[in-house]
Amino acid sequence: MNVAILGAGGIGATMAQTLNKMKTARCYAVGSRNKDKAAEFAKKYGCKKSYGSYEELVADKKVDLVYIATPHSEHYEHARLCIENGKAVLCEKAFTANAAQAEELIALAKEKNVLITEAIWTRYMPMLQTIKEVLNSGVIGVPTMLTANLGYVINGVSRLTDPALAGGALLDVGVYTINFASMIFGTEVKKLSSVCTYTKSGVDEQNSITMVFEDGKMAVLNSSMLSLSDRKGIIYGTKGFAVIENINNFESMTVYDSSYNKVEKYNRPKQISGYEYEVEACAKALQNGEIECPQMPHAETIRVMRLMDSLRYEWGIKYPFE
């Protein structure tokens, strides 16, 4: 499968390095608005083709899948360009800047019968199945509450403080905490409450979100672009608890009993970077003629985007292009 990378930045580089170690896919092309930047990227990562425009990239008949690695504000425009040219899309999270954009893209993908899926990599990882199996075994009893913390010192990254680029902690790191809660406790959120602090430019820099689910379970989620967090996800049950190391790229799961004794530890399988699983899911979906991946269905992408819209509404954050 020939994969093209749209956007020659850091995250695109991680994908290129991953593709170069995969047997089922290859880093075939890269596109940038800067021809020299694209050529330099292609040379560094062994892409066969480099393009100085996204239009040229999507016109290449040999491209099977386009990985979109541009800022959140650009995802809608770039994904739309791919779909209109019949190119399957793996779009980096957050999928779009808002739910309306997500709904439009997915409707267009259905109309054109083109695969599009969100690259929220934790959804595709085999470690997720291990976590679910352990919880389903009843080893910590009935899970009733979870906490998730994700923070990095990234407030110096200009795109993250720029409202015009859909900046803020929510769409960059908060999206992982929300997806973690959804993967563990499901989609039936009954009540949502939250608070945030703001950057000088008016986007959220830290936020705390509490979800109450229809079955009474609770999730308390914290994300920040000001401070380094432990990245832990902890699931609390009636007979014990489980600690997930790194909710942004599951490393391990340690189970404790009601006396706080360590019962078992499960480590993630060896991986290239973790990006390979979403690429493999796309390859399988394409082989089966599907336009969505079961790991992250369209309905779930839209639900999470709507949830984040409602949080921004509560915080009074509106992007200038909305």
- List, run by run, the mean pLDDT of 10-residue segments along the chain (322 residues): 96 97 97 96 97 98 98 97 98 97 98 98 98 98 98 95 97 98 98 97 98 98 98 98 98 98 98 98 98 98 98 98 96
Secondary structure letter of residue 123 according to DSSP: G
Helices (H) and strands (E) in the chain, counts: 11, 14
> By 3-state DSSP, what share of the chain in percent is helix, strand and coil, each rounded to 5?
40, 25, 35
Across 175-214, b (16+ Cβ under 10 Å) vs e yields bbbbbbbbbbbeeebeeeebebeebeeebbbbbbbebebe
Strand 204-213 relative to strand 218-224: parallel, antiparallel, unpaired? antiparallel
Give the Cα separation of 191 and 197 in Å (integer). Answer: 21
Contact yes or no for 179/297 (Cβ under 8 A): no
In the block, residue with structure tokens 């991680």: 14
Question: Helices (DSSP H) in 249-289: which residue ranges?
Answer: 276-287
In the block, residue with structure tokens 């800022």: 71
Write the CB contacts of 38 (distance below 8 Å, at least 6 apart in sequence): 8, 30, 31, 32, 50, 51, 52
Nearest alpha-carbon partner for 63 in 96, 33, 90? 90
What pLDDT, on the 0 to 100 scale, is given for residue 41?
A: 98
Reported residue count of the chain is 322
Q: Residue 260, class by beta-carbon neighbours within 10 Å (0-12 exposed, 13-18 middle, 19+ buried)?
A: exposed
In the block, residue with structure tokens 């896919």: 25
Contact yes or no for 130/269 (Cβ under 8 A): no
The radius of gyration of the chain's CA atoms, rounded to the nearest angstrom, is: 20
Give the Cα separation of 303 and 264 in Å (integer). Answer: 34
Is pTM, for the whole model, over 0.85?
Answer: yes
Write the CB contacts of 117 (distance below 8 Å, at least 6 apart in sequence): 89, 90, 91, 278, 281, 282, 285, 292, 293, 295, 296, 301
Beta strands per DSSP E along 105-168: 116-119, 143-151
Nearest alpha-carbon partner for 123 in 267, 303, 278, 307? 278
Give the Cα separation of 309 and 288 in Å (integer). Answer: 33
